[in-house]
């Protein structure tokens, strides 16, 4: 979930909670019943927010794990490629060394 989406969700939930609270306060019920309604709405909103936070954490964890796997795969590919290139360089150097040994041996004979 993006930061903008989270801010919008938080603003929406805050607005709902405030609107519900104001609506209950102006309702023509007795004080005890009004307090009970406020408490219930507060608990409902708390559960909604907790659920949203849990969902956001799950999504974030999922995204982090996917990016971690992607990074590890790219790292393995890079290491594999570099290893292959290192082998090519070593082979080339070994060939040059053999050529130099052959030239040196030839020059030693002359």
pLDDT at 25 over 80: no
Other C-beta atoms closer than 10 Å to the C-beta of 42 total: 13
Structure tokens at 73: 């795969």
Structure tokens at 17: 């909670």
Handedness of CA 73, 79, 85, 87 (dihedral sign): negative
27 phi and psi angles, rounded to 5 deg:
-70, 150
Work out the mean pLDDT of the chain and round it to a whole number.
83
Q: What's the number of CA atoms in the CB half-sphere (13 Å) around residue 57?
A: 6
Average pLDDT value for residue range 87-109:
87
In this structure, of 26-35, 39-48, 98-107, the range with the lowest mean pLDDT score is 26-35
Average pLDDT value for residue range 38-52:
86
pTM greater than 0.85:
no
Query: Quick one: CA torsion of 33, 37, 43, 47, rounded to 10 degrees?
Result: 150
């Amino acid at each position: 979930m993006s930061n903008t989406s989270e801010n919008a969700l938080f603003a929406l939930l805050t607005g709902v909670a405030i609107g519900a609270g104001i609506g209950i306060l102006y309702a023509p019920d007795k004080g005890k019943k009004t307090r009970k309604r406020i408490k219930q709405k507060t608990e409902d909103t708390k559960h909604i927010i907790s659920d949203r936070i849990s969902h956001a954490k799950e999504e974030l964890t999922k995204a982090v794990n996917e990016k971690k796997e992607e990074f590890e795969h790219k790292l393995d590919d890079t290491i594999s490629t570099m290893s292959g290139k290192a082998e090519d360089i070593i082979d080339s150097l070994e060939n040059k060394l053999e050529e130099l040994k052959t030239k040196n041996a030839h020059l030693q004979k002359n």
